[in-house]
Amino acid sequence: MSERQKTHAAAAALDYIESGMTVGLGSGSTAEIFVRLLAERVKEGMAIKGVPTSEQTADLARDVGVPLVEVDHVDHIAVTIDGADEVDGRFQLIKGGGGRHLREKIIAKASDLMVVIVDESKLVSTLGAFPLPVEVDPFGFSISAKQIYDALCKAGSTRPDVQLRRKGDGLDPFITDGHNFILDCHCGAIPDPAEAALRLNAIPGVVEHGLFIDIARVVIVGEDDGARVMEL
């Protein structure tokens, strides 16, 4: 059912795309469905340019025929369509399960509008059941880990478990597109995401984190028989 819901959400997001737009292309399974559906519109004559948020998204867009533009050649992004790992009732998000939250946030913040596409399982009352990814510089990452732990505790999380993300083999660290490490923070609950974001932003070794605060304006929830569109 999840795949059907994702497809319904991705299809509904096409209503926010018009010919002539520059569109931020998110990462993850639901965003990939959107890219494939967008490619069908391009084949029908829609003229858009996509700005991918990851190398994986860029490869997919090229494969299916969505025209891309280098981010450094863009002066305006009309809308970004992206998924999320968790969404609460205030449209605060946790993103970064795939490790691309830095580029995703850069593109989302540069856009006039961020539209989030999710299935029903991603809706939560309180963020934090999904581990919060924090991207850190490899230099001194163990120092950063302790500071991240302290910051999350001060923001109200109870004894968060901060773990270095590793590759599938479980041996080597996972490396982001920006050549950084990720610390996955198992918080259980993040009672004040905005406060947590501020405290994480103040840590020198933190490159970026997966809390998206006051960025999303539209959330499209895929359901079994269609999609529910919510706007702030």
| Residues catalogued as catalytic | 104
- Please say whether the beta carbons of 75 and 51 come within 8 A: no
Transcribe 198-231 into DSSP letters: HHHHT-TTEEEESEE-S---EEEEEETTEEEEEE
Q: Using CA atoms, how far apart are residues 36 and 10, in angstroms rounded to an integer? A: 9
Q: Rounded to the nearest 10 degrees, how much is the dihedral formed by the CA atoms of 89, 221, 44, 70?
A: 40
Unique residue bearing structure tokens 């932003």: 201
Look at the chain and count its residues. 232
Contact 69, 25 (CB under 8 A): no
Handedness of CA 41, 43, 47, 50 (dihedral sign): positive
| Rounded CA separation 222/30 (Å) | 10
Q: Return the number of other C-beta atoms located less than 10 Å from residue 179's C-beta.
A: 9
**H-helix or E-strand spanning residue 55:** helix 55-64
* C-alpha separations of 212 from 75, 81, 194 in Å: 22, 14, 9
Q: What is the DSSP letter of 15?
A: G
